[in-house]
Structure 1
Amino acid sequence: MKTLVISGYKSHELGIFKSGDPAVGVIKKAIRQRLVTLIDEGLEWVIVSGGLGVEQWAAEAVIQLKAEYPALQLAVITPFLSQEEKWNEENQTNYQNILKSADFTASVSNKPYTDPSQFRNRDDFLLNKADGLLLIHDEEKDGSPAFLLKKAETYAEQNKLEIIRIDFQDLQWIAEEAVLSESEPD
């Protein structure tokens, strides 16, 4: 796998409203763990569309990993121009920092938001560019990732696409592991 799309829940779908929430660290750690394995197997590019939540946390994880794996590249391919227009100032600043650190940025639609078809077009475009999809998604809580998962499963029936899921149980194990390692004496 050379190119991986990462997506998942929006921050509000997970009840996360502050960047310092401990859950963000758990999600980033889960993503980093999967990425390190994939990098060792030949991963070159990670693509996100830059939405609030998992996609931005994934981009931040990639940016951190680039210090250790400088060949890893990050692409931010948005569904439309100015997707951050209505976000609060902190989210806009964070987004701009991600764009500055990305190796490639583009938009599928070269105009601002007009209708939901821009999200479908983004999903089609990203799946056509990728060998794999890493999705933070749990069957118990569908939310926005369910649409991409369904499309990816259909796409994978006729194309080469590996789907990797991180569910809530995976995140729980990582959180418990972190608690245990913090409580161990030095």
Structure 2
Amino acid sequence: MSRLWVTGYRGYELGVFDNKDQKKTIIDYVLKNELISEIESGVDWIITGGQMGIEQWTIQVANELKQEFPDEFQTAMILPFAEFGSNWNEANQATYNQTKLMADFTAEVSNQPYQSPKQLKNYQEFMISHTDSALLVYDLDNPGKTQYDYNRIKEFADKRPYPFRMISFDDLQNSADEYFESLNNGFQDE
């Protein structure tokens, strides 16, 4: 069994506030390609959290990939604490609840509502100890909340085998160029 932890920027950190935003289209394209590569390499579980942004988009993209890879992988949404997202606005809670239903498995590391940062540290420890590698949509030159996960993953990987890959803003730009070039080539072929 091979389990991949996927995390990254929140939507607002990327300036994405709408599912029709071109940036989200590119991120979905990148996530799809990365997840296909991981699935073809033997990943059985794609595990992420419930944060708005990369984590929820990962579950959504993986759910779409189940058409292409129906029996090859499962998804899990692991939450740091009970009542996660309960303070979000109604629209964000609705999206979260719909996305949560797409996951094959959901659980909370702590059965208590948020009480302290210790719950977030416990969440990181759970994710590291229950996965074999990580994929982060994160750029060290553009700090965000994912910095905490990156720091813990890097610290862990420095001491034992735990491969992780980062998708930077340059990687996203290269993928955007590739995506739009493929669209343009499609129009030229017609």
Scaled by the length of structure 1, the TM-score of the pair is: 0.95
Gaps of 5+ in 2: none
* Offset, 1:13: 1.1
Cα distance in 1 for partners of 2:95, 2:49 equals 14
**Would the aligned equivalents of 2:76 and 2:105 in 1 still touch at CA under 8 Å?**
yes
Residue 152 of structure 2 is matched in structure 1 by 151
Residue 37 of structure 1 is matched in structure 2 by 37
* Offset, 1:156: 1.2
Q: Which amino acid aligns with 1:83?
A: F
**Would the aligned equivalents of 2:60 and 2:102 in 1 still touch at CA under 8 Å?**
no
Residue 177 of structure 2 is matched in structure 1 by 176
* Offset, 1:101: 1.6
* Offset, 1:77: 0.6
**Would the aligned equivalents of 2:81 and 2:109 in 1 still touch at CA under 8 Å?**
yes
SS at match of 2:34: helix
Q: How many residues align?
A: 186
Cα distance in 2 for partners of 1:56, 1:2 equals 21
Deviation digits for residues 101-143 of structure 1, max 9, x if unmatched? 2111100010111111111111110011111110011121011
**Would the aligned equivalents of 2:59 and 2:102 in 1 still touch at CA under 8 Å?**
no
SS at match of 1:173: helix
In the alignment, structure 1 residue 108 sits paired with structure 2 residue 100: no
SS at match of 1:164: strand
The residue correspondences of 1:12-161 to structure 2 (distance < 5 A) are 12-70=12-70, 71-161=72-162
SS at match of 1:157: helix
Q: Which amino acid aligns with 1:162?
A: P
Q: CA RMSD in A?
A: 1.2
SS at match of 2:121: helix
Cα distance in 2 for partners of 1:36, 1:179 equals 20
* Offset, 1:53: 0.8
Does 41-50 or 86-95 show the bigger shift? 86-95
Residue 11 of structure 2 is matched in structure 1 by 11
Cα distance in 2 for partners of 1:114, 1:178 equals 43
* Offset, 1:6: 0.4
Moved over 4 A (4+): none
